[in-house]
Amino acid sequence: MWWRDGIIYQIYPRSYQDSNEDGIGDLPGITQKLDYLKELDIDAIWLSPIYPSPDVDYGYDVADYVAIDPKFGNLEEFDILIEQAHQRGIHIILDLVLNHTSDQHQWFIQSRSSRDNPFRDWYIWRDAAAGGGEPNNWQSAFGGNGWEWDANTNQYYFHMFYKEQPDLNWQNPSVQNAILNVVEFWLKRGVDGFRLDVFNAFFKSQTFKNNPFKLGRRGFEQQHHIYDINQPELIDWLQKFRALLDSYPQRYSVGESFEATPETAALYVGEKLLHATFDFSFLKNRFNPSGFYHSIQRWENALEGRGWPNYVMNNHDVIRSASRYTRNENDARLKILAAMHLTLRGTPYLYYGEEIGMRDIRINKRKQVLDPIGKRYWPFYKGRDGCRSPMQWDDSLFAGFSSRQSWLPVNENFQWRNVESQKKDPDSLFNFYKQLIHLRKTIPALQRGMYLPLTFDPRRLLAYMRKLEDETVLVALNFSRRKVSLMVSTSILHQKWQLLFSNSREEMPDFRDRKITLAPYEVLLLSSD
């Protein structure tokens, strides 16, 4: 299965490649770069939202589910992208933002026009509480109360995110059917899969009870989300969604579980549910083996007997791993993370530019911020602009992304950190990714083998094996800048091992004193069959 054995690559469309020189990336630009993705041996592209949008939340406020935003192109250019990608064996995954729409969507324009409009019940409308005020204590994840007063019809509507993003009423069967029609529209155009944005927030309790209090930093985090997330009705709709996907060959679904533990996220994975869900534990870990070891164990245990894991080091909402884990331009730590990411049991998701170690751009002044949540919480939180800067293709002006000023600044390190320069350097992070991806594609145990933990040192060492039938791969990762020793058991000692890969040696290590000594930041893979 392509989604199980392959590599999925997230593209933030406005930042990948500008084909018409307006400073914004677009679909033809992505099409121009398909050969690059083929060279990297990517199996699928996940496109962040490309639908018409007022861009209050940069595409996550959708004004039309069955069209392309003109700044990105049109349906004909989308069809060309699909055709050209498929010719190269690359699949296309669309981001579906279904919890809410833009307030500029025709559904909501109709809904708020009057209380007796046929679309009124497509959104969550409530009278004020007795004595006035919001219907309950539900909060917006972006800050403040989740209810917005509509003076035209004298009711509140609910929005889990910005007030310009009203939540759909998923308890309404008409909404559920309309969304399935949207899914089928894209399936018929050849889309291979979907990423469901905050899918476990689709349904809200019809009791509209207050969420109970818990300790937290701000309003949304000070509630146990009992009544506005993870409602039981979701399972039935996911089964309908999966049945529709399964009526087309080799389609895929992955869900972004919102405010969820690994155990909760795993509940929505199964033969009649989603193919996969995300666990974002890696995004919160420090650079030490202990955190990653425990995250892997917890995710493996949660999914046991249910489904296939996936792992994410970066996405469009968090500081890039290169900025989280490094303080300079040295990529030694990033190679450790890449090796772990690409040798675990599960589908690796890469974020554009991760393969060349792109860093966040610096945001020093509030007037530089475009992300509304960054403007709201400045200077305590600077928003998500930093991780969304243009792809760094070469050392020309604007990094080969465009010939004019880009919508966000290009990182100032683009002259030496770019695709073209790294292609020429055999020791670059880009070529390291190519080598590890090639190994993953050619060694069945690295694709489908069991994950068997060996040991970890809280600050220095992580070691595990991948095993498929008679084939075993031992992975040892030194997270430190000093040598570290891996003690091996008698059973491992007596196996016949070959050097599969190392970034520090060319010969098999000896097992003197039943241990392997790893060089600083060494990635070591041994194979036995």
Describe the crossing of helices 233-246 and 173-188 by its angle, rounded to 10 degrees.
20
Catalytic residue among 164, 192, 256, 371: 256
Q: How far apart are CA 480 and CA 274, in angstroms?
A: 38
Amino acid identity for residue 86 in this structure: H
Are the C-beta atoms of 30 and 17 separated by less than 8 Å?
Answer: yes
HEC string of 425-453 equals CCCCHHHHHHHHHHHHHHCHHHHHCEEEE
- Record the tokens describing residue 159, joined without a space: 């929005």
Strand partners, 350: 9
Q: How far apart are CA 320 and CA 357, in angstroms?
A: 9
Catalytic residue among 197, 331, 354, 371: 197
Are the C-beta atoms of 16 and 410 separated by less than 8 Å?
Answer: no
Residue 150 a catalytic site member:
no
Alpha-helical segments (H) within 390-500: 419-424, 429-442, 444-448, 490-493
Residue at token pair 């905050």: 198
Q: How far is CA 471 from the centre of its chain?
A: 31
Residue 197 a catalytic site member:
yes
- Record the tokens describing residue 460, joined without a space: 């220095």
Are the C-beta atoms of 386 and 363 separated by less than 8 Å?
Answer: yes
For the chain, counts of helices (H) and of strands (E): 16, 18
Q: How far apart are CA 85 and CA 35, in angstroms?
A: 9
| DSSP-based three-state secondary structure for 229 | coil
Helix (H) or strand (E) holding 174: helix 173-188
Catalytic residues: 197, 256
